[in-house]
Structure 1
Amino acid sequence: MREVWVALLAWTWLASASAEPLTLEEALATVAAPHPDRQIAESDLALARADRDQMASIQDFRLFLDGTLAGGEGEFGGWRANNLGRIVARKPLFDFGRSSQAVAAADQNVAASQTALFHVQSLRRIDIMARFFDVLLADMQYAADNEFMAVAYVSWENAQDRFKVGKISQPELVKLEADFQNSRERREASLKQVRSSRQKLAHAMYRPGNLPTELAEPDLPSNASPVAEYESLLPWVMEKNPRVQVLQSKLAAADARIAAMRAEANPMLDAEVVGADFSRISNTRDNISAGVVFLIPLYQGGRVDALVAREMAQKERSAAELEKLKLELADSLLLTLQEIEWLRSSGRVAADKQIEYRDWALERSRAEYELELKTNLGTSMADTQVAALRRKQVEYQLALALARLEAMSGGSLPSLEGAAK
């Protein structure tokens, strides 16, 4: 057992000596790394931009070669070649809403994808922050469980000597050994959490295989920042929330697509310039010509109506999703603000009092230990570590709640009148 502890302490010392502790700011800076979540959002944005470019290209100048290989019987008998080769330049002039509405719909999709990418970055920041705190808490939990196990081991070891001289019974010795084994099991579970929490942080930072060894304790100055009341913050969230903005952009895109589909019944006007060559000479054929091509749809069956009906159904679904999201946001905002208030008003006070009590108990145990009255100094030290762990949990939970509130509000919170600078 002693050799394992010495090896663990040596590994920790070497790790801390070989690299500077990772700060929360450094961890959050990796939000720009090519994490799969970010790459997916960036791909969606690239697709939306490509669709917009495709819609905008409808009005582009086009140049193509048109040819016919044919033959026919002439006026004076006999078959003769009647081949045709043309170079055609065509530029759409007016399509009465088709392309403009299609481009407008594509622009809204681009806006939605940009907002979605921003939201992914906000979620990544929260995930990195949470994983960072998990590592710190896992280290503190391991330290406490390690202390509890050491106390249980010493108690069991001393009990073996007392058992040999008949001062305690066999059941009492077995109970102390069972207590030690339980403490050892909890300590081993904590050690696994130390390792797994670091791997999760490395993955959140998109540094697989590069597990951080030592983390710096964050300052968390935002934990003291005031927040607005629910009634004043709710309209801000409904306006700034990225998910709301994404769905609003999708609704605007649906309206534009419906308008473009309905414009399929409108005329089209193109300008055309043609340069041609013919194998059969004729006075009615022009080698060079220019003109305007006018197209008026007369009947298209039920195609347009079906497309519009489908788009309308999709729009109604998006509208329902938006209303559902607003209800969920209202609940989430209230719960988040209540959590912040609870942590600040009750969580901190309870944790501080626990620390105050454990500090007093530790001093008393230290004094009794020095006077050789009791030997529970190790247990008191472990209890003190647990109290400190509880206090850190409050601050980390508060920091995450404030980060969620900021992300819910689109990355910024409204300023408060008279708020402390």
Structure 2
Amino acid sequence: MKLRHALLLAGVLASPCLVAAPLPQPLTLADALRLAEDEGHYDLQLRTAELEVARAGLRTAQGERDFVLGFEGRLRYVEPPVQNVNQSHNDSAALLVARKRLYDFGRGSALEQAAQAVIEGEKQRLELAREQRKIDVLRAFFDVLLADMGYTVANERMAIVYVDYDKQRDRLELGQISQVEFLRVQTGYEEILRARNEAEARQRTTRLRLAAALGDPTQLPAKLVEPELRSLPERKPPAIDAVLAEGLERNPTLVALRRQLEAATGRVEAARARRLPVLDAVVEGGVYNREYGSNDPFRAGVVLTAPLVTGGAVEGEIARAEAERLRAQATLARAEAELRQRLSELALDIDVLRKAIAGDKVREGYRELYLDRSRALYEMEVSTDLGDSMVQMSDAHLRSMRTLFALSLAWAELDALLGRPVAPLAVATLPEGKS
């Protein structure tokens, strides 16, 4: 019983969620991207498993031409003809049979080439999954930051409205305003309060998504560090024609689908080769209970097996292989069309977002100067719109960061689709004119 409890405790302590290292506090984007490279995430484990299945397929294809050694034991009772000298009824035997495929008219090589193409395709999918993990973490990280900024704006706006609401409530008690007028003020306050509560809820839900993206939903990141991406707009926008050419050549999904088409073509060739002969080297040695002319203790030779009538099984295999090849071809054509569309959209989005950043900077600069002016007037007791100016300043910053984060995600997705590594922090420090 003690041993059982000890093993149970060891299993609990070995749980990934319990032994996972605590998240860095505060969490930076560099830390989050580093955690995204953890091979233990289920997305990467799934792709790794698919790669191992493909490698097993190659070993299976290679095994068709491997040396095979088998044992055959036979217990048999016979009634020998009356003219036979040996009238024994025991025709038992023990045999060792060794077989090696010498030539199969291309079937084995076609299967091996198909399996190798599947492996290369799965490697591409695994690399794409690694980059997609970074994009997922990047998007979740930005969502948390935007949720925090949104909460700041909503909370500041609620604080301003609450001052007026509290004042109007006092006036209602003094009979200075009507119940209708107070309800109008209270309705506005409740709407602002609801928006603030929703913003607060988004803070938690976005953290839950980030924790899941990082591979440990039990650890919610408390505080995040806003990344330095101000130099990101300096990255030269891509030309659509160049992006399309590079994407059609290097996109990991297209490369994987091309390998899949090669594999399907190889399976068609292998299926057709089943109509052709095979040549095997066979070596047999055995011990026989009855001795007669055909029971040799040892024999070796080559055996040519040629199918004369294959039947529906082979024709069905060929038809299925042809259908899979056509499906792979159509899937590749559709993926190419979808990639063209997405790359064009991303290139245009990047150009639009880069131009929008300039307008965001102007708005943010204006709100900063207006805040300084409102603060000065407030100190001189000339104006009382300081709170509203602070809200507008926070909102301008939120809009600016939303545009910047969208630009970073657009570049990240574009890099992944072009087969490049996703490195948002690296591109943010590029000198002007580089890409």
Structural mapping, 1:168-183, within 5 Å = 168-183=177-192
Change (3 A) 1:73 1:96: same
- Select 1:226's aligned residue among 228, 236, 239: 236
Distance 1:367 1:79 in 2: 121
- Where 1:96 maps in the other structure, the secondary structure is coil
Look up the match of 1:314.
Answer: 324
> Please, what TM-score do these two structures have when normalized by structure 2?
0.87
Distance 1:392 1:340 in 2: 15
Look up the match of 2:279.
Answer: 269
- The answer to whether the 8 A contact 2:278-2:305 is kept is yes
> Please, what TM-score do these two structures have when normalized by structure 1?
0.89
- The answer to whether the 8 A contact 1:223-1:402 is kept is no
- Where 2:292 maps in the other structure, the secondary structure is coil
Q: CA deviation at 1:123?
A: 1.6
* Unaligned runs of at least 5 residues, structure 1: 1-17
Of residues 144-153 and 308-317 in structure 1, the stretch that sits farther from structure 2 once superposed is 308-317
The alignment's C-alpha RMSD in Å is 2.1
Q: CA deviation at 1:166?
A: 5.3
- The answer to whether the 8 A contact 2:88-2:290 is kept is no
- The answer to whether the 8 A contact 1:240-1:410 is kept is yes
Change (3 A) 1:372 1:296: same
User: CA deviation digits over 1:195-221, x for unaligned, max 9?
Assistant: 110010000111111000111111235
User: CA deviation digits over 1:356-384, x for unaligned, max 9?
Assistant: 22122212221222222332211110111
- The answer to whether the 8 A contact 1:72-1:81 is kept is no
Change (3 A) 1:339 1:22: same
- Where 2:301 maps in the other structure, the secondary structure is strand
| 1:184 is aligned to 2:193 | yes
User: CA deviation digits over 1:100-139, x for unaligned, max 9?
Assistant: 1111111111111111111222221111100000000100
Distance 2:312 2:292 in 1: 43
Amino acid in the other structure paired with 1:213:
A
Distance 1:147 1:336 in 2: 35
Change (3 A) 1:369 1:162: farther
- Where 1:80 maps in the other structure, the secondary structure is coil
- Where 2:145 maps in the other structure, the secondary structure is helix
Distance 1:282 1:164 in 2: 122
Look up the match of 2:434.
Answer: 420
User: How many corresponding residue pairs?
Assistant: 399
| 1:363 is aligned to 2:377 | no
- Select 1:211's aligned residue among 202, 214, 220: 220
Distance 1:387 1:152 in 2: 19
- Where 2:96 maps in the other structure, the secondary structure is strand
Amino acid in the other structure paired with 2:279:
L
Change (3 A) 1:381 1:141: same
Change (3 A) 1:170 1:280: closer
- The answer to whether the 8 A contact 2:264-2:328 is kept is no
Look up the match of 2:261.
Answer: 251
Distance 1:275 1:79 in 2: 22
| 1:20 is aligned to 2:25 | yes
- Where 2:64 maps in the other structure, the secondary structure is helix
- Select 2:158's aligned residue among 139, 149, 163: 149
Look up the match of 1:73.
Answer: 80
Q: CA deviation at 1:140?
A: 0.6
- Select 2:270's aligned residue among 260, 263, 269: 260
Look up the match of 1:30.
Answer: 35
Q: CA deviation at 1:72?
A: 2.7
- The answer to whether the 8 A contact 1:66-1:87 is kept is yes
- The answer to whether the 8 A contact 2:80-2:89 is kept is yes
Structural mapping, 1:161-172, within 5 Å = 161-165=170-174, 167-172=176-181
Amino acid in the other structure paired with 1:37:
D
| 1:293 is aligned to 2:303 | yes
Distance 2:126 2:387 in 1: 51
User: CA deviation digits over 1:7-52, x for unaligned, max 9?
Assistant: xxxxxxxxxxx96311111111122332222222112111111111
- Select 1:106's aligned residue among 115, 128, 131: 115
Q: CA deviation at 1:226?
A: 1.5
- Where 1:88 maps in the other structure, the secondary structure is strand
Change (3 A) 1:283 1:164: closer
Distance 1:293 1:374 in 2: 104
Look up the match of 2:18.
Answer: none
Distance 2:64 2:134 in 1: 40
- Where 1:272 maps in the other structure, the secondary structure is strand
